[in-house]
Amino acid sequence: MFAMATPSRDAAAPTADELHTLEQMERQALARVSEAVTRPTKAAFAWADPLFTVGVTGTNGKTSTTHLIAAVLRAAGETVLLESTIGYFLNDLPLAVARTSRGYVAAMKQAAEAGARFAAVEVTSAALAGGFARVWRYDLGVFTNLTRDHVVAHGSWEHYLASKAQLFVHLAPGRCAVLNAADPAALLIDQITPADVRRRFFAVPSRGACLHPAELLAAKVEVSVEGTRILLAPSASAESLGGELETGLIGEIFAENVLAAALSALELGVGARVVQRGMKLAPPIEGRFQVVSREPIVVVDYAHSPDALARTADTARSLAGAARTIFVAGAGGGADTPKREPMGRALGERVDYLILTSDNPRDENPADIAAALEHGARRGGRAHVRTELDRRAAIRQAIEQAKPKDVVVIAGKGHERGQTMGTVTEPFSDVDEALAVLGALRGG
């Protein structure tokens, strides 16, 4: 987040003085990470003061939750800046800015000049650890969940959690934290969030027992290839929403994201009927259980942690019914090696056929990464496991062996457009590769 890059000339570029000011603020924030919290964080620039920024953090579900919040705000007639792993968007318009401080400010300034009142922003633990919540004012904080992904990068679980918590300890009096009542880490965040910040809790039983009373609680989640329907336990908010919410996103994991986004929108004053409509109209999110074929069902998904892979596999199993689930998966090189065996085991316990392959191996030997995944997968005891390090070949083999009712999931890269081996990144898209195979098989 803090690296500087030259913005696209299509973007509303921040001035040199604004960039200098932001750089100074960043340096000061980094120097004060261990100091007492000063509240509230002021708007970084005068033009940014009218922007109400929703920050979404957590291990999994940040991108989907951010996109859903933006979709509901747009359904309410608002112009919205959306920033996520996928990129920056001003309503439907992609903004050609880098995911750096310069790009962030340029996008925010362009949104402000376009009359946007809201920004929905995915906030990484790395940015928060660097003190970014001291630099940019977040007006509403959303916590999705906390699992072990990225723990190694932060040195310990405690530091990882503390980084996420920075979003909430800096919220201003009278603002709001939207928290996952089924995640133990949310209770810790609740404890350190200032008492003058409102809390609104959501929960989905698949995460675990509800550890705090939840304003929106999923009583039942129904998943089909058409989307996800969430039946809500009785509450005042649930009653206002007609007892249920629907989205075209496919998978129980998205139920958490829908509830978090719904509470955020209700907090912002969006009417319940608009919330329902916005969720239903929210477009598919690139690389997030993205269905590229219906027969067989072929899916591209970004899941690359044990928790995310387990949930993606469970969704695939529910769609497959009596048919088979076939997965292509790998793990990135140069990061969090302890998660590899748990990743393999999560799939080995759930899927029928698992093809282990390369996924941005960087400077590591792809065979060594696959071996660690295989060790965990074979402990899972269910999947037939084999290795094909050529990702293009692995995708082809998975789709070619699929029968019409089977579900094929190509996991790990999602929206990414490259494969990094060593220091070289070559163009590569799981979606494009899957479509090419499907086209060849269908004679297209």
The reply to whether 290-441 shares the fold of 16-281 is no
User: How many whole angstroms separate alpha carbon 126 and alpha carbon 123?
Assistant: 8
Unique residue bearing structure tokens 């004060």: 32
Q: What predicted TM-score, i.e. pTM, was given to this entire model? A: 0.89
Task: Please state which architecture CATH assigns to domain 290-441.
Answer: Alpha-Beta Complex (3.90)
Q: Report in angstroms the alpha-carbon separations of 14 from 19, 21, 87, 106.
A: 6, 11, 18, 5
Average pLDDT for the chain: 90
What is the distance, to the nearest Å, from the Cα of residue 251 to the centroid of all Cα atoms in its chain? 14
Q: Is the pLDDT of residue 25 over 60?
A: no
The end-to-end CA distance of the chain, in Å, is 42
Q: What is the pLDDT of residues 176-229, one digit of tens each?
A: 999 999 999 899 899 999 999 999 999 999 999 999 999 999 999 999 999 999
Of 386, 389, 395, nearest to 431 (Cα)? 395
Domain boundaries, the chain: 16-281, 290-441
Homologous superfamily in CATH for domain 16-281: Mur-like, catalytic domain (3.40.1190.10)
Q: Is the pLDDT of residue 134 over 80?
A: yes
Q: What local confidence, expressed as pLDDT, does residue 336 receive?
A: 80
Q: What is the pLDDT of residues 67-121, one digit of tens each?
A: 999 999 999 999 999 999 999 999 989 999 988 889 999 999 999 999 999 999 9
The pLDDT-based confidence of 5 (bands split at 50, 70, 90) is: very low
Return the CA Rg of the chain.
21
